[in-house]
Amino acid sequence: MKNKRLMHPRNIFRTPPDYTALAIKYKDFRKVCKLELSGKVCIDYRNEFTLRALTQMLLEEYFQLRVEFAPGSLIPTLPLRLNYILWLEDLLTSLKLGSTQEIRCIDIGCGSSCIYTLLAARKNSWHMYAIESNDTNLNYAEKNVETNKLQNLVEIFKQIDKQVVLTDFFRTRPDVTFHFCLCNPPFYDSTLPNPF
């Protein structure tokens, strides 16, 4: 994130990573980096392949998460996604829940990376229920959960009805209490006209 003021105080990315050291450590990331004459690593944030390699490398380095993205899917920016998780931590802390209480959360439209769900499960051991309607994204999300061995904390749910999002989901879990629900738009097909 360019504007440090907008970053959560506990966000580890308030201090920019040492991209030179990370490029030495991660060969896939190194392939998309450019080296300036000063020897400093430069990143082209407008290039999809660079963003993909950058996000994958940061997830692995800081959260021990290995993530694959569906071809053509949005590449999430990790500092902003981490901000969301940190804000949710703050909100849950303000509720003064017991330390033994299992936190249960819904992620609507988890996408192929399933990034919020994976971060919340890995970082906080929250029980996450990720909902996705796109079959390709669903398959990638399931693989990402399995790859990171988080099946005990994450359940992926296929959303059939795109008009009434949570009805089918709640029918399958009538006795479960959830602490929060998060979503990250856009929820529209990129081949259709932008609804905004």
Q: Answer yes or no: is 189 within a domain.
A: no
Total number of domains constituting the chain: 1
Q: Give the range of the structural domain holding residue 152, as residue numbers without chain letter.
A: 4-183
Structure token digits, residue 3: 């504007």
Burial zone of 30 (CB within 10 Å; 0-12 exposed, 13-18 middle, 19+ buried): middle
- pLDDT tens for 30-72 read 999 988 878 788 888 889 899 999 999 999 999 999 999 999 8
Q: Give the pLDDT of residue 1.
A: 46
Sign of CA dihedral 159, 162, 165, 171: negative
Q: Give the pLDDT of residue 2.
A: 57
- pLDDT tens for 92-149 read 988 887 666 799 999 999 999 999 999 999 999 999 999 999 999 999 999 999 999 9
- pLDDT tens for 5-18 read 789 999 999 999 99
**C-alpha–C-alpha distance, residues 114 and 109, integer Å:** 8
Q: Answer yes or no: is 191 within a domain.
A: no
**C-alpha–C-alpha distance, residues 49 and 84, integer Å:** 24
- Decide: 156 and 111 in contact? Cβ < 8 Å: no
Q: Say which range, 78-92, 147-161, 177-191, has the weakest mean pLDDT.
A: 177-191
Nearby residues of 182 by Cβ (< 8 Å), 6 or more positions away? 84, 88, 105, 106, 107, 108, 116
Q: Answer yes or no: is 87 within a domain.
A: yes
- pLDDT tens for 61-97 read 999 999 999 998 889 899 999 999 999 999 998 888 7
Exposure letters 88-113 (e unless 16+ CB within 10 A, then b): bbeebeeeeeeeeeebebbbbbbbbb
Q: Answer yes or no: is 122 within a domain.
A: yes
Residue 195, pLDDT above cutoff 50: no
Residue 191, pLDDT above cutoff 50: no
Q: Answer yes or no: is 114 within a domain.
A: yes
What CATH number is given to the structural domain containing 17?
A: 3.40.50.150
Q: Answer yes or no: is 195 within a domain.
A: no
The whole-number average pLDDT for the span 155-171 is 86
Closest to 186 measured CA to CA, from 174, 194, 176: 194
The amino acid occupying position 87 is W
Residue of higher predicted confidence among 23 and 97 = 23
Q: Answer yes or no: is 59 within a domain.
A: yes
Give strand pairing partners of 105.
128, 180
In a 13 Å sphere around the CA of 17, the CA atoms on its Cβ side amount to: 23
Q: Answer yes or no: is 54 within a domain.
A: yes
